[in-house]
Amino acid sequence: MITIGLFVYFTIKAGSNFTDTLSLSSAAGYAGPYAAIGVGEVLLLVLAEIDLSAGQVFLFCPWVMYWLHGDGVPLLAAILIALLVVSAVGAINGLITVLLNVPSFVTTLATNFILYGLVLVESNQLQGSPIPLSSGSGFWSKVMGTGTWSEIIWVAAITIVMTVVFKRTRFGVRIIATGGNLVGAAEAGVPIRRVKIWAFVLCSFLSGLVGIVDSVKYGTLDPGNFGVDYILYAIGACVIGGTALTGGRGTLLGAFIGGILIGILQDGLTLIGVSTNVFFIYVGAVIIGAMAVNVQFDRLIARSRGT
């Protein structure tokens, strides 16, 4: 609702400037990474866990692909190995959290720094360029990122697939059960540890996948990019979408919409000539506003059901 409202607001304010393809695609460009990381992050938030490294994984995955490809590994293999590597990062996050009982906030904070450091060391602080596929105009280049809408289509597809997984499969129910009542779920025979580890793996995998698409889109990799910049927006997107950080509840579609909203905000404010510095104040206000609306909404529903 807020997203549509903002969309209308910017359309009126900036006229056709906002709705033309170039501008909309740039809004989608901002939104893609936040929405993608947010969708994976929701799984962990529902589990009452968090993955702070997902933003850095998003940046790290294309580097792995780039290095492997540079060493002569065929592109498809390089992409698959990179995805395997980030899935392993997710597995490590999960294993440390579950087996050593370290809060995931701490585990993934550490992973975040380690991945950042690896990029700096391996890249020698030099930009990664050119990214394979990024200069081509063939079918696969378009699919993998150079197409105007390819990234946001990837993210939308991921959102749909993961929503089906979350709502319709046993894994989804087990995520809600584990996050809603850890002890109760374990007593009912839910393998809570396995569920958590797989969720970490999925979150990393999805972030890495869209990270590769994002790198193809921009064509260069900047070793100075810091994942925390992404993850905080992504968590913002989750919260705006209606996911509480207390576990047991969340919506992936909400995170997607939340990501789009932040994208529109970032792009729209630039277009209507508001200083980008103000952007952060708006984001903060929207997060608080969305939270308040969601809480009230829940109360309303509860009352209408007579409880």
Partner 1 sequence: MSTDVPQPTNPVANGKPVLEARGLTKSFGALQVLRGIDLSLRPGEVLGLVGDNGAGKSTLVKILCGFHSQDGGEMLLEGKQVRFNSVEAARAHGIETVYQDLALIPQLTVYQNLFLGHELTMLGPLRFLNNRQMRKLAREYLDEINVHVPSVDAEAERLSGGQRQAIAVARAVRAANKILLLDEPLAAMGARESRLIINLVKDLAASGRVSIIVIDHNYAHLFELCDRVNVMQGGKITIDRPVHETSIEELTELMVSSYRRQLEQVREGGA
Q: Which chain residues interact with partner 1 by CB under 8 A?
A: 168-173, 176-177, 179-181, 183-185, 187-190, 248-249, 305, 307
What is the Cα–Cα distance from 249 to 47, expressed in whole angstroms?
Answer: 8
Closer CB to partner 1, residue 285 or residue 300?
Answer: 300
- Shortest reach from residue 159's CB to partner 1, in Å: 18
Nearest distance in Å: CB 295, partner 1: 15
Between 71 and 187, name the residue whose CB sits nearer to partner 1.
187
Give the nearer residue to partner 1 in terms of CB position, either 16 or 304: 304
223 and 119 in contact (C-beta within 8 Å)? yes
Q: How far is the CB of 268 from partner 1 (least distance, A)?
A: 35
Nearer to partner 1, 189 or 273 (CB): 189
Residue 176, classed as helix, strand or coil, is helix
d(CA 45, CA 269): 29
Closer to partner 1 by CB, 24 or 190: give it.
Answer: 190
Nearest to partner 1 of 180, 219 (CB atom):
180
- Minimum Å gap between C-beta 237 and partner 1 is 21
CA angle at residue 268 from 262 to 273, to 5 degrees?
135
Length reported for the chain: 307
Q: Are 256 and 39 in contact (CB under 8 A)?
A: yes
Instruction: Quote the least distance from Cβ 186 to partner 1, whole Å.
Output: 9
Encode burial over 75-111: b for 16+ CB neighbours within 10 A, e otherwise: eeebbeebbebbbebbbbbbebbbeeeeebeebbbeb
Please list, in sequence order, all residues whose beta carbon lies within 8 angstroms of the beta carbon of residue 128, skipping any fewer than 6 positions away.
62, 63, 66, 215, 220, 221, 222, 223
Distance CA(108)–CA(96), nearest Å, equals: 9
C-beta of 168 vs 299, nearer to partner 1: 168
Q: How far apart are CA 141 and CA 75, in angstroms?
A: 12
Phi, psi for 128 (deg, rounded to 5): -95, 115
Question: Given the complex with partner 1, which of 89 and 192 has the nearer CB atom?
Answer: 192
Q: How far is the CB of 306 from partner 1 (least distance, A)?
A: 9
Smallest distance, partner 1 to C-beta of residue 195, A: 12
Nearest to 26 by CA among 287, 276, 291: 276
The residue (of 62 and 250) whose beta carbon lies closer to partner 1 is 250
* Rounded Cα–Cα distance for residues 52 and 108 (Å): 5
Measured from the CB of residue 243, what is the shortest distance to partner 1 in angstroms? 12
The structure tokens 């995805």 sit at 83
The minimum distance between CB 217 and partner 1, in angstroms, equals 31
